[in-house]
Structure 1
């Protein structure tokens, strides 16, 4: 009786989804959204096309799910109990994400997505959600008294994350932990002293009618 060949174990569940997301990001690093095909993603992931279409009817659905997953997993919002520790943890994830192969596909989408309104809407929604999530760092710091009320938390985080991206992408330099700590200290000094606070609209008191006539 011939020996039975063991069939390769099929990948299912979260492991399968993760493999498909990795294949999607790899393809997005190679081609733009217009040229992305479900067939090529399925081939790279080693699954049938029907597996993709059952979960994600269109490539826009697949890209949305992939971006949701990668931004949630790769960019975390830590809660260490102090502002500086939280910012350092957050910026570490930003730096590591910028250095990852996945970021190539994300950057391609961000710069090329404007030509596709539906894709642009997906990217904007995910960005807004992640921005709101990361602002929890600032909200907790205000509650602990580490930052003054009225500080522009969005601007503070954008300035820090933007500086990291600029050094990595445009200057092609390393951004080690020591440099991250210097960046945090530099920008926090201004924020903690009211720099960049959101100004409240100035309301002028109305003069009495008699005073206006004189």
Structure 2
């Protein structure tokens, strides 16, 4: 497939062309990660799979590491939906369980490996910080809704509560390689609920 087929129509506005290039490249990276693993993803292969010239990929993402991280962060944000069961404990259990399942997947494992091995640059740091800021903001709605239902204190630090839930799960997947079974997730959720019932701060972060 030629690049012109991916972004067919020279009269398209730049935004439309850029979006099609991004979509094709992202799809190709995810396909490659699933087929060969994150370590073997290469820009020449992504160019072949996507039909986008490697010069275009290098111009936009500069390095293979930037490209892979961008795709995996984007995929993570789309995959992990925020549950709304009507109860704080059930929301936290559902989200923690979904996170565990995601981190077991090829895409989740790829993201962990990239985070563990990639060298920090200003661009990568910005991508990572933006991802976590947006992710915490979206997941914090679980805490906000519980506060509105008067399940927990009104002045809970939502980000700290979410960090308390997800940090041990990431630790087990990345470092200790221990399973995150239901008993473990229940213990994390109980700790978060205990924190939410006693925490006090001047204002929420979100």
- TM-score normalised to structure 2 length: 0.71
Name the structure 1 match of 2:200.
197
SS at 1:115 equivalent: coil
Contact 1:24/1:66 (CA < 8 Å) preserved in 2? Answer: no
Does 1:22 find its partner at 2:30?
Answer: yes
CA contact (8 A) 1:88 1:180 kept: yes
After superposition, what is the alpha-carbon deviation per residue over 1:95-126, rounded to whole angstroms, capped at 9, x for unaligned?
11221222333234434555321121111111
CA distance in 2, matches of 1:155, 1:106: 22
Q: 2:13 aligns to what?
A: none
Query: What do you get for the CA RMSD once the two structures are aligned?
Result: 3.3
Instruction: Work out the CA distance in 1 between the residues paired with 2:47 and 2:201.
Output: 48
Following superposition, the deviation at residue 149 of structure 1 comes to 1.2
How far apart are residue 16 of structure 1 and its match? Answer: 5.5
**Higher helix content, 1 or 2:** 2
Q: Choose 1 or 2 for highest CA Rg.
A: 1
The 1:58/1:168 distance shift into structure 2, 3 A limit, reads closer
1:75, CA displacement in angstroms?
1.8
State the aligned residue count.
182
Deviation string, structure 1 residues 104-160 (Cα, Å, up to 9, x no partner): 332344345553211211111111101100101101110010110111211111011
Which 5+ residue runs of structure 1 have no aligned equivalent? 1-9, 201-214
TM-score by length of 1: 0.69
Q: What stretches of structure 2 of length at least 5 have no aligned partner?
A: 8-19
157, 160, 178: which is aligned to 1:173?
A: 178
Q: Is 1:99 the equivalent of 2:104? A: yes
